[in-house]
């Protein structure tokens, strides 16, 4: 299949350009924020009042955005191209050219949540559960943006849906691995977490959704790495493993450990309905 005729730049006026890549991040953050607001305002899911107020969730949006952008960029610099960026430090800020690491963004958001919870005196694990439940929304839009940018393409393939990317110097049909990731890390993982939050008592056992997200993402990423072309300057480890696999395998183990720990904790007590005041006898 030929690559769809999609310009990575939506609108350009002189040197100012609006790229689909930036819009994807904005859409993911805003829709994720709206979803978190809905979660925290649905008291039945928590067995009582949600862990944060609407105003606190509004403030969290900025913290999460900074965590994603700064962590994602620094993660890419350190995990994938440290030698290049140390030699060209001025290029580190060129985020518009692409180059974001999920694992770095994940660590950035974790740090942002920890600092935000301390500053606002909010329970850490319930706050993390809300953010984890909404994160697949951002991942979906991010992977679609990767496809539009014709970056992070897959390995050569003879599948009928293989795509010839314009950025591939070899011009080979390849797996559209960005779309595989959008499906697994975005749609499938969101549905799984949605089931846990709305059809089980997962939110009443803080940490369960965080663990499920970390495990689900790690497993999804490892699966997709079998179809994704590894970075040319890194290649394979031991002829099999990619950098993405090595960064995701610990996530699966840590996620499972968090789920096990959360399930063994005493469930949050359900909120008792307010008692009615007895009427005064006249």
Task: State whether the Cα torsion 15-18-20-23 is positive or negative.
Answer: positive
Query: Which residues touch 163 (CB under 8 Å, ≥6 apart)?
Result: 1, 2, 3, 153, 173, 174, 175, 176
Distance CA(134)–CA(33), nearest Å, equals 8
* DSSP label at residue 241: B
CB 95 within 8 A of CB 73: yes
Angle between helices 124-148 and 208-225 (to 10 degrees): 20
Among 94, 105, 193, residue whose Cα is nearest residue 143: 105
The two beta strands, 16-19 and 163-164, are unpaired
143 is in an annotated binding site: yes
Q: What does the radius of gyration of the chain's CA atoms come to, in whole angstroms?
A: 21
CB 122 within 8 A of CB 112: no
Name residue 173's beta-bridge partners.
Answer: 164
Return the residue matching tokens 């960005």.
178
Distance CA(153)–CA(248), nearest Å, equals 18
Binding site feature residues: 143
């Amino acid at each position: 299949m030929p690559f769809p005729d999609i310009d990575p730049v939506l609108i350009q006026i002189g040197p100012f350009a609006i790229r689909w890549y930036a819009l994807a991040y904005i859409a993911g953050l805003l829709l994720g924020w709206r979803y978190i607001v809905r979660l925290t305002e649905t008291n039945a899911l928590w067995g009582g009042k949600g862990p944060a107020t609407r105003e606190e969730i509004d403030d969290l949006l900025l913290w999460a955005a900074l965590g994603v952008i700064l962590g994602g960029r620094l993660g890419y610099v350190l995990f994938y191209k440290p030698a290049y960026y140390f030699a060209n430090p001025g290029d580190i800020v060129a985020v518009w050219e692409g180059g974001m690491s999920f694992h770095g963004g994940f660590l950035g958001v974790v740090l942002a949540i920890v600092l935000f919870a301390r500053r606002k005196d909010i329970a850490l694990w319930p706050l993390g559960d809300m953010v984890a439940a909404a994160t697949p929304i951002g991942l979906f839009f991010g992977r679609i943006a990767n496809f539009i940018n014709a970056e992070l393409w897959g390995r050569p393939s003879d599948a009928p849906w293989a795509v010839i990317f314009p950025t591939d110097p070899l011009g080979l049909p390849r797996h559209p691995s960005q779309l595989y990731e959008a499906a697994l890390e975005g749609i499938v993982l969101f549905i799984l977490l949605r089931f846990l939050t709305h059809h089980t008592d997962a939110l009443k056992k803080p940490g369960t959704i965080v663990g499920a997200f970390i495990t689900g993402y790690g497993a999804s990423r490892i699966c997709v790495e079998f179809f994704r072309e590894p970075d040319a300057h890194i290649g394979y480890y031991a002829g099999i493993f990619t950098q993405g696999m090595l960064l995701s395998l610990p996530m699966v183990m840590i996620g499972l450990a968090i789920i096990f720990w959360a399930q063994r904790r005493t469930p949050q007590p359900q909120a008792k309905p307010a008692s009615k005041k007895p009427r005064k006898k006249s």
